[in-house]
Amino acid sequence: MKKKFQKALQPGQTWFYLLFLLFAAGGLYFSLWYGAAGIAVCGILRLASLRQESERKRQVQDLMENIEVSGGEIKPAVTHSPLPTVVALATTGEIVWANEAFAEISGQFSGARHMRMTELAPTFETRWLIEGKEEFPGELRMGRRAYHVFGSMIPSGAGQMMMLYFIDCTEYVRLRDAAETRHPALAIIAIDNYEELMKNATDSEKSAILADIDRRLSEWTRDSSAVLRKYDRDKYIFIIENAELDKLAARKFAVLQEVRDIRNHEGVLATLSIGIGRDGETLAESYQYAGLAIDMALSRGGDQAVIKNRYTFEFYGGLSEEVEKRTKVKSRVVANALSQLIRDSSQVLVMGHKNSDMDAIGAAAGMVCAARVKGKPVHIVVDQQHTMASDLIERLESLPEYKDVFISAEDAMIMCDFNTLLIVVDVNRPGYVESEALLQSINKVAVIDHHRRAADYIENAVVSLHEPYASSASELVSELLQYLVPNNDILTGEAEAMLAGIYLDTKGYSTRTGVRTFEAAAYLRRAGAEVSDVKRLFQSSFDQYMERQKIISSARNCGQGVIFALTDQEIDRIAAAQAADELLSIIGTRASVVAFRSGVDMAVSARASGQVNVQLLMERLGGGGNHSAAGAQLKNTTPEEADRMITEAIHGYFADQESEAQ
């Protein structure tokens, strides 16, 4: 209604002139002259507009009559063509000419003229024509039917025109959609903690737990036409049609919560991981996607569902804390493979993440030790202007073995050859490594990391040790070193660097520690690391202490046990991380979030304990990290925008968690 009214009052429309005339006639009452002049102006304008309109019609007519194919006029052919055809103004989409076939499909025989294309087909747009393409992307819905639309631009005296042809594809779209909804997706379901659940259980308890999991899985799929089969003691294969899968996804894979209610006599909860592959060209490809998805679910800590399609991963769940589930066999196998790789390479480069910290540098020092003992030239690639480990780097640089070991990414690019081995530590996302260009230039890459995976991770690594249950990259490297070098070949400075990495990520052995963490620490202690020397690396400067206190004083309680502090000041990343750590120690706090300015961006550090997963919270802001420590970088964002975005992310996270729990 509003649109019609606006259109009626546009210049060129009869109503516009009638209204004008009414006002001018009203003027007669006040002054004969002004009234008469008004009526005359209105008449002149109307005449001019009629002339313009008829000129435009003539030009369009000319245009239609002058379109020729092989020298023959096609106007009658186009007019009577069974192919619905339209000529419309490119600027407004106003239809200036339509043939009989278009009038039939649009149901607007004479009325189609002067209507806009979007009035007939709301999703119509012209970007494809402007970009020089000949086909509208996807299908255009008009009424209850779907069309493939082809077209081109035609310059004319009446302005830029577009000529559009419509081919009915309703039946094709119906068949394709039906095939897509019935297309099978494949899933692998794994009991995450089978060993732990069954440990010390009697035979009857084991059977009861497994029967309970089987029953809950069957009930979950009962109303669908899915097929569920157990193929190993702790694994199931699951085949389901896409439409049914969408329903399970909409209910956030409720079986994850259902199974979490099962516990053994020691109180260990059962958790599942579900890896789903969909949209593969073949069943085999969907199965391959399912394999990647289950690996992804497990490497993010389990207790979640991951869907992998042709383009991306989607994540559901993952709220519980990860449970340690590692074997030393993997470390030994990786150590052997790394040893071989180092021996076969011309040189070794080691690289951590951007804004490297003591864990990244400590782990890198461990790898330098392995390469040095094997007699290979080795360097650590680091941006010394942007590091949180400058004191540690300085200490290492004072050792004769570390003279010229630290180099910039630019120098590394010049230095590397086709037989260089690049070892990436403490990071698995390509966009977060110290130098993405270097990562892309080297084809022999090994990855050693303890962070949960996000949708993008370094693919095609020749060797990968990825353990989200480990406290730190330094813990993993210490474990590898036990198989790679004799104990007395490790320099005290290297052992202390790795111990500093463990100390950092466990916050002085208070979080994320497992038996293996202490074993690694004991090994480093035997290699000569002094705990008091390590602790000295963590002393804050007076400025850092004051910055930390300043940000803590801006904290506010967001409810749900979340404390949020934001400052528009540019502060040291370490001070922000420490503030987030400290806020978490307030009684009743389940998560802390600290945001601060970093150039034109806003940086975020988040920490959590227990049930809150700050990795999922930070992923809402494009960041990542681990269950209990995560971060994000909000590009080109003001403090006010960051405040709004973070608050929304916190509310969104808890709203999702509540809907999942229902």
Ligand X SMILES: Nc1ncnc2c1ncn2[C@@H]1O[C@H](COP(=O)(O)O[C@H]2[C@@H](O)[C@H](n3cnc4c(N)ncnc43)O[C@@H]2COP(=O)(O)O)[C@@H](O)[C@H]1O
598 binds ligand X (CB under 6 A): no
458 binds ligand X (CB under 6 A): no
Question: Which residues from 398-457 bind ligand X, rule CB under 6 A?
Answer: 426, 432, 451
Instruction: Tell which one of 213, 574, 612, 617 touches ligand X (CB under 6 A).
Output: 574
Closer residue to ligand X (CB): 270 or 595: 595
Residues 539 and 429: their CA atoms lie apart, in Å, by 30
CB of 634 to ligand X, least distance (A): 9
Residue 272 binding: pick among ligand X, Mn ion, none (C-beta 5-8 Å cut-off by kind): none
Residues 362 and 359: their CA atoms lie apart, in Å, by 5
Q: Dihedrals φ, ψ of 81, to 5°? A: -65, 145
CB of 349 to ligand X, least distance (A): 19
Instruction: Tell which one of 289, 335, 631, 649 touches ligand X (CB under 6 A).
Output: 631
CB of 276 to ligand X, least distance (A): 25
- Pair 238, 226: CB distance under 8 Å: yes
CB of 217 to ligand X, least distance (A): 34
Helix (H) or strand (E) holding 75: helix 75-79
- Pair 206, 263: CB distance under 8 Å: no
Question: Which residues from 198-227 bind ligand X, rule CB under 6 A?
Answer: none
Tokens 């021996």 correspond to 343
Question: Which residues from 345-404 bind ligand X, rule CB under 6 A?
Answer: 353, 357-359, 388
User: Tokens representing 361?
Assistant: 């540098």
504 binds ligand X (CB under 6 A): yes
Chain centroid, CA 29 distance in Å: 69
CB of 568 to ligand X, least distance (A): 19
Ranked by CB distance to ligand X, the top (closest) residue is 631
Residue 432 binding: pick among ligand X, Mn ion, none (C-beta 5-8 Å cut-off by kind): ligand X
Tokens 């369009």 correspond to 60
Closer residue to ligand X (CB): 163 or 433: 433
505 annotated ligand binder: yes
625 binds ligand X (CB under 6 A): yes
Instruction: Tell which one of 629, 645, 649, 650 touches ligand X (CB under 6 A).
Output: 629
CB of 427 to Mn ion, least distance (A): 7
User: Tokens representing 287?
Assistant: 């199965």
- Pair 501, 449: CB distance under 8 Å: no
Q: Which stretch binds ligand X (CB under 6 A): 102-110, 143-151, 437-445, 619-627?
A: 619-627
Residues 31 and 22: their CA atoms lie apart, in Å, by 14
Q: Catalogue the E-assigned strands of 3-71.
A: 68-69
Strands 161-168 and 85-89 come out as antiparallel
- Pair 473, 502: CB distance under 8 Å: no
Tokens 């779907």 correspond to 146
Residue 630 binding: pick among ligand X, Mn ion, none (C-beta 5-8 Å cut-off by kind): ligand X
CB of 489 to ligand X, least distance (A): 26
User: Tokens representing 95?
Assistant: 């239809």
Nearest alpha carbon to residue 433 among 521, 537, 509, 350: 350
651 annotated ligand binder: no
Residues 555 and 488: their CA atoms lie apart, in Å, by 48
- Phi-psi region at 83: left, alpha or beta (left = phi > 0; alpha = psi -120 to 50): beta
User: Tokens representing 93?
Assistant: 């989409």
Closer residue to ligand X (CB): 196 or 322: 322
Question: What does 588-622 look like in DSSP terms, one character per residue?
Answer: T-SEEEEEEEETTEEEEEEEE-TT--HHHHHHTTT
Residue 156 binding: pick among ligand X, Mn ion, none (C-beta 5-8 Å cut-off by kind): none
CB of 228 to Mn ion, least distance (A): 41
Closer residue to ligand X (CB): 244 or 426: 426
Residue 308 binding: pick among Mn ion, ligand X, none (C-beta 5-8 Å cut-off by kind): none
Residue 151 binding: pick among ligand X, Mn ion, none (C-beta 5-8 Å cut-off by kind): none
CB of 396 to Mn ion, least distance (A): 16
Nearest alpha carbon to residue 606 among 616, 596, 618: 618
- Pair 269, 260: CB distance under 8 Å: yes
Residue 120 binding: pick among ligand X, Mn ion, none (C-beta 5-8 Å cut-off by kind): none
Tokens 């308890």 correspond to 205
Q: Catalogue the E-assigned strands of 214-292.
A: 227-232, 235-241, 272-277
Residue 624 binding: pick among ligand X, Mn ion, none (C-beta 5-8 Å cut-off by kind): ligand X
Output the CA torsion 475→479→481→485 (10° steps): 150
Question: Which residues from 315-344 bind ligand X, rule CB under 6 A?
Answer: none
303 annotated ligand binder: no
User: Tokens representing 522?
Assistant: 């004991």
Residue 301 binding: pick among Mn ion, ligand X, none (C-beta 5-8 Å cut-off by kind): none
Q: Dihedrals φ, ψ of 591, to 5°? A: -155, 150
149 binds ligand X (CB under 6 A): no
Count CB atoms within 10 A of the CB of residue 334. Answer: 22
Residues 453 and 572: their CA atoms lie apart, in Å, by 26
Helix (H) or strand (E) holding 30: helix 14-30
Tokens 């006002």 correspond to 23
Size, binding site for ligand X by CB under 6 A? 25
Residue 573 binding: pick among Mn ion, ligand X, none (C-beta 5-8 Å cut-off by kind): ligand X
Closer residue to ligand X (CB): 271 or 578: 578
466 annotated ligand binder: no
CB of 507 to ligand X, least distance (A): 8
630 binds ligand X (CB under 6 A): yes
646 binds ligand X (CB under 6 A): no
CB of 187 to Mn ion, least distance (A): 33
Closer residue to ligand X (CB): 426 or 547: 426
Residue 625 binding: pick among ligand X, Mn ion, none (C-beta 5-8 Å cut-off by kind): ligand X
Query: Where do contacts with Mn ion occur on this chain (CB under 5 A)?
Result: 357, 359-360, 426
578 binds ligand X (CB under 6 A): yes
Nearest alpha carbon to residue 583 among 601, 565, 604, 558: 565
Nearest alpha carbon to residue 158 among 223, 64, 70, 224: 64
CB of 480 to ligand X, least distance (A): 17
426 annotated ligand binder: yes
- Pair 620, 595: CB distance under 8 Å: no
593 binds ligand X (CB under 6 A): no
643 annotated ligand binder: no
Q: Which stretch binds ligand X (CB under 6 A): 295-303, 401-409, 462-470, 618-626?
A: 618-626
User: Tokens representing 505?
Assistant: 């990520």
CB of 403 to ligand X, least distance (A): 25
Closer residue to Mn ion (CB): 322 or 359: 359
- Pair 422, 338: CB distance under 8 Å: no
Count CB atoms within 10 A of the CB of residue 293. Answer: 27
Residues of the shown chain interacting with ligand X in the complex, contacts defined by CB under 6 A: 353, 357-359, 388, 426, 432, 451, 504-505, 538, 573-574, 577-578, 605, 623-626, 629-633
Residue numbering of the annotated binding site for Mn(2+): 353, 357, 359, 426, 450, 505
Residue numbering of the annotated binding site: 353, 357, 359, 426, 450, 505
